[in-house]
Amino acid sequence: MKEELTVSTVEEVQCALTSHSMVRIRDAVEWMLEYVLTRLPEAKAMLRYYDSLNPMEITNTKILAELSWVVHSSGFRHDVVKKYWHAISQAFHGFEIAEVASLYEDIESEARRICRGCGFNNMRKAMWCIQNARRIIELDSEKRTRGGLAGYLMELSRKNTYDLVRFAPFLVEELRFKGIGSTTIFHLMKNLGIDIFKPDIHVRRTLVKLGLTHEEDASTVDICRAMLLLSQASQMRIIELDTLLFEYGRISGDALMPEVRAIFVC
């Protein structure tokens, strides 16, 4: 049975803040931030990038570009996709919707050409990106009274975090994008600037180590509570915290450093 999200969840977080010192949580987040920036200097630009994303600037080209990034990233490390990304972008004509959608008429041969041209040899992902361009055009027409697909996603971005979590499964079914499922939908929303987290394994493990969730396979609702708690204490956006926790977990091997343990764990 699905866990329901209610207004009381906000009150639960407020109660949690009385039992977990906001100061200690903030100090733990600040230490993790210093730990990550010391070992991965480029993380500063990454965090600044996510903080600067504005969902009010979503366009169809941006949607297809981020869709394609998420599709190509699924099952591959970030640095692998990044290595090929410029060539992938060129092969997809800068993700101009009409140009990519036009490839649908001869999709297999076009996907083969794209794979040869960019060096990222995955026919299925190339075909999915072409199909997604066509789907964006369909959705743009279906949602023309709401400002098209971009307008619809801008409207979605105004929802609070709990409502976004609750709505995510319905969004997957509504959009019907190839390669986008119950987890990758969070990655897509985040990359479009919507203030949400991606329940990645590194994020899950770090939250368990901090004592904010009880198990790695905690529900998305439980993760949402924990992320909101961290956001309120640290005054960082959830979209930034997600990036920080992911990089911290990846670099630390999902271990809780003694310095964080001393600050945070009772």
The band of 153, judged by pLDDT with boundaries at 50, 70 and 90, is very high
What single letter denotes the amino acid at residue 2? K
Residue located via tokens 């800068």? 94
Tell me the whole-structure pTM to 2 decimals.
0.87
pLDDT in tens, 43-82: 999 999 998 999 999 999 999 999 999 999 998 888 899 9
Residue 254: pLDDT band (50, 70, 90) is: confident
Strands (E), 72-197: none
Q: Considering Cα of 145, then 150, then 152, then 158, what sign does the dihedral take?
A: negative
| Domain ranges for the chain | 8-51+197-264, 55-191
| DSSP per position, 131-164 | HHHHHHHHHHHHTGGGTHHHHHHHHHTTS-HHHH
Q: How far apart are CA 169 and CA 235, in angstroms?
A: 28
pLDDT above 70 coverage of the chain, percent: 89
pLDDT for residue 266 is more than 50: no
Q: Is residue 9 scored above 70 in pLDDT?
A: no
User: Regarding the domain delimited by 55-191, which CATH topology (the fold level of the hierarchy) does it fall under?
Assistant: Endonuclease III; domain 1 (1.10.340)
Q: For residue 65, which phi and psi values (nearest 5 degrees)?
A: -60, -45
Burial class (CB in 10 A: 0-12, 13-18, 19+), 32: buried
Cβ(119)–Cβ(72) below 8 Å: no
Q: Give residues with Cβ within 8 angstroms of 161, minimum separation 6.
A: 195, 196, 224, 227, 228, 238
Tens of pLDDT, residues 109-145: 999 999 999 999 999 999 999 999 999 999 999 999 9
